[in-house]
Amino acid sequence: MEFKTLLAKQELQPYLLKARYGIEREGQRVTLTGELVDTPHPARLGNRQYHPYIQTDFAETQMELITPVAESIPELFQYLTGIHDVAYRSMDENEMLWPLSMPPALPEKEEDILIAKLDAFEDVLYRRYLAKTYGRRKQMVSGIHFNFEFSDELLQKMFSMQTEVLDYHQFKTEVYLKVTRNYLHYSWLVTYLFGATPLSEARYFEGCKRPKEPVRSIRNSSYGYKNHEDVKVSYCDMETYLADITRMVEEGKLSEEKEFYSAVRLRGGKRMADLAKDGIRYIELRNLDLHPFASCGISVEQVEFLHFFLLFLLWQEEGPILDEWVESGLQKNEQVALEHPLEKTKYAKEAHELFDEMLAFAKELELPLTKDLLPKLFQAVKKPEETLAAQLYLASQKTSQKDVAVQIALANHRKRWAKPYQLAGFEALELSTQILIFDAIQKGIGVEVLDPQDQFLQLTVGDHIEYVKNGNMTSKDNYIVPLLMENKTVTKKVLGKAGFRVPRGREFHRVEEALASYREFETQAFVVKPKSTNYGLGISIFKEGASLSDYQTALEIAFKEDDAVLVEEFLVGTEYRFFVVDGQTKAILLRVPANVKGDGVHTIEELVAQKNTDPLRGTHHLTPLEKIQLGEIEQLALKEQGYQVHSVPKKDEVVYLRENSNISSGGDSIDMTDAFGQDYKEIAESAVKALGAVVCGIDLIIPDYTQPADEPGAYGIIEANFNPAMMIHTYPYQGQGRRLTMTILELLFPEMFV
Amino acid sequence: MEFKTLLAKQELQPYLLKARYGIEREGQRVTLTGELVDTPHPARLGNRQYHPYIQTDFAETQMELITPVAESIPELFQYLTGIHDVAYRSMDENEMLWPLSMPPALPEKEEDILIAKLDAFEDVLYRRYLAKTYGRRKQMVSGIHFNFEFSDELLQKMFSMQTEVLDYHQFKTEVYLKVTRNYLHYSWLVTYLFGATPLSEARYFEGCKRPKEPVRSIRNSSYGYKNHEDVKVSYCDMETYLADITRMVEEGKLSEEKEFYSAVRLRGGKRMADLAKDGIRYIELRNLDLHPFASCGISVEQVEFLHFFLLFLLWQEEGPILDEWVESGLQKNEQVALEHPLEKTKYAKEAHELFDEMLAFAKELELPLTKDLLPKLFQAVKKPEETLAAQLYLASQKTSQKDVAVQIALANHRKRWAKPYQLAGFEALELSTQILIFDAIQKGIGVEVLDPQDQFLQLTVGDHIEYVKNGNMTSKDNYIVPLLMENKTVTKKVLGKAGFRVPRGREFHRVEEALASYREFETQAFVVKPKSTNYGLGISIFKEGASLSDYQTALEIAFKEDDAVLVEEFLVGTEYRFFVVDGQTKAILLRVPANVKGDGVHTIEELVAQKNTDPLRGTHHLTPLEKIQLGEIEQLALKEQGYQVHSVPKKDEVVYLRENSNISSGGDSIDMTDAFGQDYKEIAESAVKALGAVVCGIDLIIPDYTQPADEPGAYGIIEANFNPAMMIHTYPYQGQGRRLTMTILELLFPEMFV
């Protein structure tokens, strides 16, 4: 097949750098001082029997982080970093991931290396077999598996431009077989550039032959974790490949197909038999050591290069005898793997030529690569000290490899824990959505962001699909309920009919009409507000009635905001937000206007600065709380209380800087869930039920929550919100946080919470 | 009880003219020439066993239209006129309602008056008993029953301002008993003003004593349909009242409690026993003849006066001996009822005094009555020819009462049928909501408009409550589905994953990003559009690819409308709207741009004017279709085709005046439901299922619907709408109308459609 000619066709150009990617990253859990942990796999994570993202590999300490299939490199790293965040923050805070492929010092007794405690007995059995055949120590090495699939558009178009192969599956198989053979032939270059296991740690080679260290890659040499030498498989065509593996298994050289380790694994359906039927769907590169300096064990640059390299390998001619072509590559790889990392490689000339060809290829096909990508790697061919193995070796020379690894791991650990309310990779989303994704990944619920702008997620468990928008808009609520809650008049009517206390009031559409009802409100506490605005605009509150002219002014202000205005009884008391899910009050929050508490020493300005050092306070809703400002509004509020920013409030005096209690203007959120009795919770719950809502943030005015809820005037319901904020409950200023995102997941996937 | 003092308190003033009202209006169904019909009660109406709005009274021909309880006079008349609209348009178009209390000429044989065919045997039995006791002819008289309840706020406040009565129910009973006694005492005034049965029609008095006609009110005289003379009941207190009625029943003078007819019926719970327990909740005035000239049998002015009058009667002193006070009133009433309608009444002086007192009362309590209300009625006291009885009598003198009645009925009939897509009283709502309410009333589903601005309805059948917004936003869809459909990118992803053909394309957030993908679209038909706008703004279509600069311009235009832009494959073919409900395609519509068809004679301007005479065409969405305009856009469209408004197109030539096919710009809607095969319907249905929607308008591009749907490119899905328009299907320009509003009701209340 003349792939070279095909690839050069103009029409293909837009699709050459499109692909689907997936990464599996293994890593040992260690203590903060770099010792293997003796704790089990974190219990916070969903069961390993189904977990799509976080598994264990050979040992109980050896986490395996698995991205879903990604359609682009940014998406791939979004998932990879996100899953790392979840893995870290699901472990005890005094554990971390070892950043090297080479495991940390191993136990003296081999049996102290604990095989992963999996539910499925066959999985345990397989690991026991591996332990026996290869030894537990060798199995402790970690790496990256990189799954790669050319874009279907590219392959479909290539297929339609040729006539040699009539079956599309067959065509794809030929593409991937050529790429695989060439990859095996040139794998020494990957080992040279990215190999990163120069030195062994204590007891890794206990009782085995060992190479003369340092090398480029222990893991990719014959001293790594490899099949025994008598395992040989041909890649010349699919039939031979399958026949060879089958024979190895029959002859007992392999226990089963998956025991065949190679730098490339051919992937079809779930079982190897699917390869024969449907051909190769994608390939898995397995020869990548963990990148010590990349916080997820692999860098964006590496992935971009690998994609480019695989495309180049499809273009690049092969040698005349295919099995020899592969075999010669494997031999070169063994040599390169065992070279001293600071030495020039024996194949420097070939590497040079290869880079020249790659640059020419990139130019001919007008590939829009990152500008520095090839030149930088080319540079490493010329300067061995720029390879990963060399860098790690050089750093280790100053102290020890262990010390270097611990410092890297600690830096990663600090970063992962710095902003626990964020999810790395997903920071562009709203905080609630970030946390919901965090929880989904933790539980093992499949997550796909269908639209980041719209905070629109798809969650999947098996065949069960749920969609979520803005963190808690889901299929569990029916469509009419939020529409009902959106309309204050309708909400009040429905609650009123159901017997709940709501502010008495009327809706008006003209000032004159409202003026005619003046006598109904004249002498009582009442509020005039636009019907639909939610931002406090156009609202006037009269706590002791109002004159006709003040009433008229208030109406005119309100009618500027909306063509419908509500005039309502004003309920006196404190406002509490009840967060009700599926009939149960999951959280109760009090919001207090921005304030500082005096100490008799510091000025208000200083107290504000102090309070703002709380890591939960930030700006632009990127944190659960907002920093208190000292702008015009706050200074005016101070002035009205006889203060300036330089005043020093008395000890324990609380000075308010705002009238409104919004968290977004620096207010404090205080969790009160446990302070309330069941009676108020039942009122909130039954009101939400009357509205028909499943997820609802309902606001009650309560003069004194220590009084029984059934006393007259004990409560009034002023608003019901269909997309209530969750973050304010999860990371409150004071009191216990409530993980409402997990509650939402439980609502959507009860089967995962049994 | 000193009600006079109480009522004068300032605090009560805002509540004096608040009340709850209900009307029952009886009316005979007649042919267009004024003969009693021989058809059964309309089958289109829901069963009389439960119908809350439209029942039959004594005879099968005698409709009874019942409003729900209304909180204001406008609301009362909204329901009353709406229910009339439904009653008319549920009858055959050659039937109408007789506008007089006096029935039209009755059959010669009494047995030809058919007793209403009710399901419940006891209801039929009761009517048979009445027929035997009073004769069928007398039962054929119709009238208005007016239910009245003072506002609870008023009574509560009055109750709290006195100390004499300790029980609120008892207090209310005293209020209503006083009003009732006074009403009976002064009922002669109501008969004078509103009596409207001056003349009998053929065979009404067959074989009975008859008065000397004309009179003021046959119906309210002893010649009307009254209890026998030996039925006497005291209103002095509740115990005596109940004891009297019980005694009448025991003595066989009444068959049961409800046979007790009086100008006022005291109403408590469902059974009379509830009166003893809970007191009087409201009263029912039964002495109102149908207002011959009011299209619903009663006028707004009458209701306003009656409310005022009842309030006045609560204020007005009674005579010292209560039973005498009532009895003397009844005697006066008999006299007034039998006076000649053009004569001054015997009690003109008392009437005069009463009006003086009423005017003084209204002034003292600052009641905001309609300015003319009392003066106009006062005038009728002075000029008997202005009373209703006199007006009807005078008109009848010119031809005959029958002819007058037929002319009135025909005028009402014409009005009810003029705009069948509207619902009288509810014209401020969207057409779809009007029709939904029409269908609900027809079926006997309780309707309440919770918010007219928001088209928000509450529908009720027994304990089953449903809410509807905008005609088809209901509880049957779950919340995430419309959010999903609102987002074009997410919709496409979900449909694409489920295997449906959707336009391939990409979403971009910056021009440069989109430009980088130019090569993907360069040579194919594609469209550039803002992600979220729905009004055709910012869309560019390139049917044969585009140059880079045209592409860039299109992107810049689109980015002006939204910060996300879609670049998509453009699907060629005709767009059809599939309206799917609960998995079934209920309607398929083709929309054609505004056009006229030439006849070789008329100019385009004339053809447009001709087409616009269609009563379905109007402006501002008040009709199912819009008039074709001849504005700038249309003239430009003509110019591009080489035409002007004065051009004369050839016979059968279709000239388009618009590019877009929106009905709102004069387009034609063509029903195609039966033209399509099941295969396309199944695609629409399964796509809607994949989206999870229950109510959905899904738009398919289909090049040729006569080709099988499973051929490649046979269809593409371009949009899914979660609140699809219904009116365009119900009243299409061409083809069969589809009553989708009834489909929605069936979805919500399947129990009503078994």
| Whether A483 and B475 lie within 8 Å, measured CB to CB | no
Q: What is the pLDDT of residue A459?
A: 98
For range B410-418, the mean pLDDT: 97
Task: Give the residue from B479, B488, B512, B526 with the most A CB atoms within 10 Å of its CB, the best one to mutate.
Answer: B479
Res B1 pLDDT > 80: no
CB–CB of B508/B551 below 8 Å? no
Contacts of B325 (CB under 8 A, 6+ apart): B181, B185, B318, B319
Res A468 pLDDT > 90: yes
Please write the tens of the pLDDT for every residue from A407-454: 999 999 999 999 999 999 999 999 999 999 999 999 999 999 999 999
| Whether B487 and A692 lie within 8 Å, measured CB to CB | no
**Rounded Cα gap, residues B391 and B397, in angstroms:** 10
**Rounded Cα gap, residues B750 and A712, in angstroms:** 41
C-alpha angle with apex A538: A537 to A541, nearest 5 degrees? 110
CA distances to A155, A178, A283 from A173, rounded to whole Å, are: 11, 9, 10
Res B535 pLDDT > 70: no
Q: Output the DSSP codes for B163-193.
A: SS---HHHHHHHHHHHHHHHHHHHHHHHHHH
Q: What is the pLDDT of residue B621?
A: 86
As a whole number, the mean pLDDT across chain A is 94
Res B252 pLDDT > 90: no
If you search the block for the tokens 């009494």, which residue do you land on?
A: B110
Res A341 pLDDT > 70: yes
**Rounded Cα gap, residues A444 and A44, in angstroms:** 10
Edge-first strand listing for the sheet containing A668-671? A668-671, A584-592, A574-581, A695-702, A716-721
Secondary structure of residue B430 in the 3-state scheme:
coil
β-pairing, A617-618 vs A625-626, is parallel
List the single residue in B with minimal CA-CA distance to A451.
Answer: B490
Q: Can you read off the two tokens belonging to residue A59?
A: 């040992």
List the single residue in A with minimal CA-CA distance to B10.
Answer: A519
Q: Which residues of B touch A466 (CB under 8 A)?
A: 480
Q: What is the pLDDT of residue A228?
A: 81
Least confident of A146-160, A510-524, A661-675, B35-49: A510-524
For chain B, domains (ranges, CATH) are 3-77+93-226+261-402 (3.30.590.20), 475-503+572-593+667-754 (3.30.470.20), 504-569 (3.30.1490.20), 600-658 (no CATH)
Res B220 pLDDT > 90: yes
Percentage, residues of chain B above pLDDT 90? 83
Q: Can you read off the two tokens belonging to residue A264?
A: 């490339």
| Whether A451 and B692 lie within 8 Å, measured CB to CB | no
Q: Can you read off the two tokens belonging to residue B695?
A: 């109510």
| Whether B478 and A476 lie within 8 Å, measured CB to CB | yes
The size of chain A, in residues, is: 754
Task: Give the residue from A479, A481, A744 with the most B CB atoms within 10 Å of its CB, the best one to mutate.
Answer: A479
* pLDDT confidence bin for B538, thresholds 50/70/90: confident
* pLDDT confidence bin for B120, thresholds 50/70/90: confident
| Backbone φ, ψ for residue A400 (5° rounding) | -155, 160
For residues A628 and B621, the model is more confident at: A628
| Backbone φ, ψ for residue A52 (5° rounding) | -80, -20
Res B455 pLDDT > 90: yes
Res A533 pLDDT > 80: no
Instruction: Give me the interface pTM, i.e. the ipTM.
Output: 0.89
Neighbours of A508 (CB within 10 A): 22
β-pairing, A584-592 vs A574-581, is antiparallel
| Whether B479 and A484 lie within 8 Å, measured CB to CB | no
* pLDDT confidence bin for B414, thresholds 50/70/90: very high
Q: What is the pLDDT of residue B534?
A: 62
Res A535 pLDDT > 80: no
Res B741 pLDDT > 70: yes
Contacts of B620 (CB under 8 A, 6+ apart): none
**Rounded Cα gap, residues A583 and A686, in angstroms:** 7
Percentage, residues of chain B above pLDDT 70? 99
CB–CB of A514/A550 below 8 Å? no
CB–CB of B25/B79 below 8 Å? no
Res B541 pLDDT > 90: no
**Rounded Cα gap, residues A668 and A390, in angstroms:** 52
* pLDDT confidence bin for A276, thresholds 50/70/90: confident
Max CA pair span of chain A: 101
Q: What is the pLDDT of residue B244?
A: 93
For range B608-615, the mean pLDDT: 95
For range B425-430, the mean pLDDT: 96
Cis peptide bond prior to A420, omega within 30° of 0: no
Q: What is the pLDDT of residue A370?
A: 95
* pLDDT confidence bin for B554, thresholds 50/70/90: very high
The minimal CB distance from B475 to the residues A453, A478, A490 is found for: A478
| Whether A479 and B484 lie within 8 Å, measured CB to CB | no
Q: What is the pLDDT of residue B255?
A: 85
Q: Which residues of A touch B510 (CB under 8 A)?
A: none
Q: What is the pLDDT of residue B516?
A: 87
- Measure in Å the smallest separation between the Cα of B14 and chain A Cα atoms: 6
**Rounded Cα gap, residues A282 and A303, in angstroms:** 15
CA neighbours closer than 13 Å in the CB half-sphere of residue A202: 11
8-state DSSP, B311: H
For range B530-534, the mean pLDDT: 76
CB–CB of A705/A675 below 8 Å? yes
Please write the tens of the pLDDT for every residue from A482-506: 999 999 899 999 999 999 999 998 8
Q: How far is CA A661 from the centre of its chain?
A: 32
Percentage, residues of chain A above pLDDT 90? 83
Query: Among B183, B501, B218, which residue's Cα sits nearest to residue B337?
Result: B218
**Rounded Cα gap, residues A147 and A281, in angstroms:** 10
| Backbone φ, ψ for residue A456 (5° rounding) | -105, 115
Chain A / chain B CB contacts < 8 angstroms: 102
Give the burial string for B382-413 (b: 16+ CB within 10 Å, else e).
eebeebbbbbbbebbeeeebbebbbebbeebb
| Whether B475 and A479 lie within 8 Å, measured CB to CB | yes
List the single residue in B with minimal CA-CA distance to A492.
Answer: B450
